Amino acid sequence: MAVSRALRRFWRTYSTVSSERLRFCIVGSGPAGFYTADKILKAHKRAEVDIVDRLPTPFGLVRSGVAPDHPDTKIVTNQFSRVVQNGRCSFIGNVSIGISISLAELRELYDVVVLSYGAESDQALGIAGEELAGIYAAREFVWWYNGHPDCRNLAPDLKSSDTAVIIGQGNVALDVARILLRPTSELATTDIASHALAALEESSIRKVYLVGRRGAAQAAFTAKELREVLGIKDLFIEIQQADLSKTPADEEELKSNRIKRRIHELLSKAATSAASVCSPGKKELHFVFFRKPDRFLESDCRSGHVAGLRLERTILKDAGSGRQIAVGTGLFDEMECGLVLKSVGYKSRPVDGLPFDLHKGIVPNVQGRVLSEASGDALVEKGLYACGWLKRGPTGIIATNLYCAEETVASILEDIQRGLVTSSSGLSKPGRDGLLQLLDSRNVKIVPFGGWEKIDSEEKRRGSLKNKPREKLTSWQELLEVAAK
């Protein structure tokens, strides 16, 4: 409903805000940033938009988060490229807010600053042993196999154990499980990073456990992702029939949610058709419901390394409004493993000068307008907006950012109409020219879109030699050197 209202405001404003030149800076070049830029450029005929990113490569999680065996999802980058090739738009990479330039300085340079830099940190479980070697955030693992330069040297140990545990039962958890279990001959023709492919080819991981606090009726993944992992050839699937039984509360929950109903059907079918005994040589995927991690266990023979975890059994209790939450029973099981991937949520990071709700992990906002405080009589920060995960939390698919951007842009256009964006002095902001001059004075080597195109071309050239769509450059040094050629 809120999105529909935002859309109506957006189109009502479309023809009335194009007379004044305004300079916009969007921090973050993922889907939320590009969708925001696209909507601004279409709605305001004299808008100049600069998309700033700390990486030398654009597209955010489309490049570093989407699984390598999902090439169709990455086609959206063609649309984003057309946006930045607009004469009124530019991409400025290798610029880190809070390091290369402060938020306060950006607000001085631009009429409007939109923050859409996503979530580059992780939720912690907060349990004993979480610091042990062999335990990683799923985000780190995803960045590693996708060639993100920050995780090029992650080097997860895939040889010392045959068992991995993934904590969480969302789409990212399924992506990670699929990469660990899928034949590497199939991954070899994707854009997976070469260092990851080489490690997976030598991997000893044969068993993967997907652990969730709640039941099959509450699993958070989508049907498409589930079908993919269930369809891996020669994979043994284990789902306990008892975990698929439905309480009256489950029945009510499934009745009102078609997606969750379909998920339960797929899991039930997989449990029914699965062989009762795993034949030798097969890889295994075990769905473990009604368990929550209590503590990680240290190896006796490898000091400082994880050897397993203790799980507390859970039951579901009514939390009102049709929701059921998992609560511990005081009964525990132990599970051996040598690799743990925590897929319990991404988390955004604050920057100096930015109001931030540490509890929710988002910027306090109303329809994208940044508020000075998380609660109380908060004032709207003039000319400062948020979009994407930083605005709403790490939820949704790529297309969700389109609706999120439409709402934020509708708020911006409304504020322009009301005269709440332009400077009271009447002086125009320096925008791109001022930004480039300041960065140059600090010896910041920016990467323009032309630099990215050189990276893109080189990656595709190298990929063609290996029958891959691209061979990603995965180090900061190499990325910057190729961009500067």
| 176-185, 367-376, 410-419: the lowest-pLDDT one | 367-376
Residue partners of 482: CB distance under 8 A and separation at least 6: 454, 455, 458, 473
pLDDT of residue 1: 38
pLDDT of residue 16: 44
- Residue ranges of the chain that CATH labels 3.50.50.60: 124-344
pLDDT, tens digit, for every residue of 230-287?
Answer: 999 989 999 999 999 989 988 988 888 899 999 999 999 998 887 667 778 889 999 9
Fold for domain 22-120+350-444? Rossmann fold (3.40.50)
Question: How far apart, in whole angstroms, are the C-alpha atoms of residue 78 and residue 211?
Answer: 37
Residue pair 236/279 in contact (Cβ under 8 Å)? The answer is yes
Q: Which residues are annotated as a binding site for FAD?
A: 32, 61, 97, 389, 396-398
Alpha helices (H) along 202-338 = 223-230, 241-244, 248-255, 258-273
pLDDT of residue 2: 45
Total-model pTM: 0.92
Residue partners of 243: CB distance under 8 A and separation at least 6: 215, 216, 287, 289, 290
For residue 331, which amino acid is it?
A: L
Q: Nearest CA to 407 among 371, 380, 381, 368? A: 368
pLDDT of residue 431: 94
More confident residue, 202 or 280: 202
pLDDT of residue 426: 58
pLDDT of residue 375: 62
Stretch 380-393: mean pLDDT: 95
Q: For the chain, how far is it from start to end, CA to CA, in angstroms?
A: 49
Residue partners of 170: CB distance under 8 A and separation at least 6: 220, 221, 343
Stretch 379-405: mean pLDDT: 93
CATH architecture of the domain formed by 124-344: 3-Layer(bba) Sandwich (3.50)
Q: Which residues are annotated as a binding site?
A: 32, 61, 97, 169-172, 213-214, 225, 389, 396-398
pLDDT, tens digit, for every residue of 306-355?
Answer: 999 999 999 999 888 778 899 999 999 999 999 999 999 888 888 998 99
Look over the chain and give the mean of its residue pLDDT values, rounded to a whole number.
Answer: 91
Residue pair 356/115 in contact (Cβ under 8 Å)? The answer is no
Structure tokens at 77: 């980058």
pLDDT of residue 376: 61
Stretch 352-377: mean pLDDT: 86
Residue partners of 397: CB distance under 8 A and separation at least 6: none
Res 464 pLDDT > 60: yes
Res 15 pLDDT > 80: no
Stretch 155-184: mean pLDDT: 96
Q: Nearest CA to 167 among 358, 348, 308, 359? A: 308
pLDDT of residue 423: 62
- Residue ranges of the chain that CATH labels 3.40.50.720: 22-120+350-444
Which of the four pLDDT bands, split at 50, 70 and 90, describes residue 123? confident
Q: Nearest CA to 146 among 177, 200, 185, 192? A: 192
Which of the four pLDDT bands, split at 50, 70 and 90, describes residue 4? very low
Structure tokens at 219: 């699993």
pLDDT, tens digit, for every residue of 43-72?
Answer: 999 999 999 999 999 999 999 999 999 999
Q: Which residues are annotated as a binding site for NADP(+)?
A: 169-172, 213-214, 225, 396
Alpha helices (H) along 17-112 = 31-43, 61-64, 76-84, 103-109
pLDDT of residue 276: 66
pLDDT, tens digit, for every residue of 82-95?
Answer: 999 988 999 999 99
